[in-house]
Structure 1
Amino acid sequence: MTRIKSSANKEIFHQWFNLLKTTLEENNMINQPHRIYNVDESGFPLDPRGIKVIAEKGIKNLFKAIAGSGRETITLQRCARADGVMLPPYVLYRAKNLHVKWTENGPDGARYNVSDKGWMDTDSFHDWFSKMFIPFLPPERPVILIFDGRASHLNFATVKEAIKHDVIILNLSSNSTHVLQPLDVGVYEPVKTAWEKSWHAS
């Protein structure tokens, strides 16, 4: 696992891309997009928070009653290869137990799990890594997995499995994912905008 200084500025971006280039060159992955992976997750609220309300001038307190689901946020994790191929989604609910109904009519190949807060933690990330990511990999090794590197992702079991299967883990520098994380910028941002609009329209 490789980590660089945490910041979000031109110098750090230059350092990170140099590190990426060196890693790809040293492992013969230039022009090998099927061996380059990016993973990221994002939360999708199950209530229309942030909805705009029109009211009479001077009213300080506005209230709107909405039905709760018991699962305020769904975490969705996606992984994409540099050649454009995407792994099936990994869906994480906030719950103690996974109900079968929550897994029905989803995308083909999707995997479902739960965590106490509905966020990705080391156990759920290891579940995704071992049950979805590793079986999907091509025979050519090593491969590289790029992600934001939060402590909630990695535990000893995941690092051990990465070494076993010749997976290079390359962290994005912290506080820079809004610029450097392809899935955050190119996928989640427009999808979440559409998600919010669908709530506001309902």
Structure 2
Amino acid sequence: MRRHREVLKFCGTSGLDPKRAQAFNPNVMADYFKKLKAAMDEHQYELGNIYNFDETGMQIGGGRKRTGKKFFIPRSSRARYRKRDGNLELVTVVECACADGTMLEPGFIFQGKMWDRGWVKNHPDIS
């Protein structure tokens, strides 16, 4: 770490679903791209017609996770608590990239039945 501080950093790990981990290996990936190339050769797909779609979820209000902030306090002090927002509403964010390098604007899925255009007034192409 001392010799390569500019390229290395210390961080923890995050969880990966076992099925996803099992599917993410060199043999499976090589097979996928072999099949993709065969399909592209056979059907003459244009890059502008190939898209990748992904989604991620976030909790409004920070959810139950900690902020990662730590504080120094005197050893003699009792533990300090901070109130946090009890709002655990989930928002789904979807994004879509094209093989030609272009991106669609992201989409947001909120809980509820009404859509307020004011939520994205600065970015009217977002849905």
Shorter-chain TM-score: what band? 0.5 to 0.7
Instruction: Give the match for residue 149 of structure 1.
Output: none
Change over 3 Å in CA distance of 1:60–1:74 after alignment to 2:
farther
CA RMSD after TM alignment: 2.9
Instruction: Give the match for residue 91 of structure 1.
Output: 108
> Matched residues, percent identical?
23
Following TM superposition, by how much is the alpha carbon of 1:104 offset from its aligned partner in structure 2, in angstroms? 4.1
Partner deviation per Cα, 1:43-95 (whole Å, 9 max, x = no partner)? 23333433122244699965321345x463321101111112212221111x2
Instruction: Give the match for residue 66 of structure 1.
Output: 84
Retained in 1: the 8 A contact 2:48–2:100?
Answer: yes
Q: List alignment gaps of at least 5 residues for structure 1.
A: 1-5, 112-202
Aligned mates of 1:98, 1:88 — CA distance in 2: 20
Instruction: Give the match for residue 34 of structure 1.
Output: 48
Tell me the matched-pair count.
Answer: 102
Following TM superposition, by how much is the alpha carbon of 1:18 offset from its aligned partner in structure 2, in angstroms? 0.9
Instruction: Give the match for residue 133 of structure 1.
Output: none
Larger Rg over CA atoms: 2
Partner of 1:47, secondary structure, is: helix
Change over 3 Å in CA distance of 1:105–1:66 after alignment to 2:
farther
Instruction: Give the match for residue 14 of structure 2.
Output: none
Q: TM-score, normalised by structure 1?
A: 0.42
Partner of 1:63, secondary structure, is: coil
| Structure number with higher relative contact order (C-alpha < 8 Å, ≥ 6 residues apart) | 1
Change over 3 Å in CA distance of 1:60–1:86 after alignment to 2:
farther
Following TM superposition, by how much is the alpha carbon of 1:108 offset from its aligned partner in structure 2, in angstroms? 2.3
What is the correspondence of 1:86-165 to structure 2 with a 5 Å cutoff?
86-93=103-110, 95-100=111-116, 103-111=119-127
* Structure with a larger share of its residues in helix: 1
Q: TM-score, normalised by structure 2?
A: 0.62
Instruction: Give the match for residue 92 of structure 2.
Output: 75
1:43 is matched with which residue: 34, 57, 65?
57
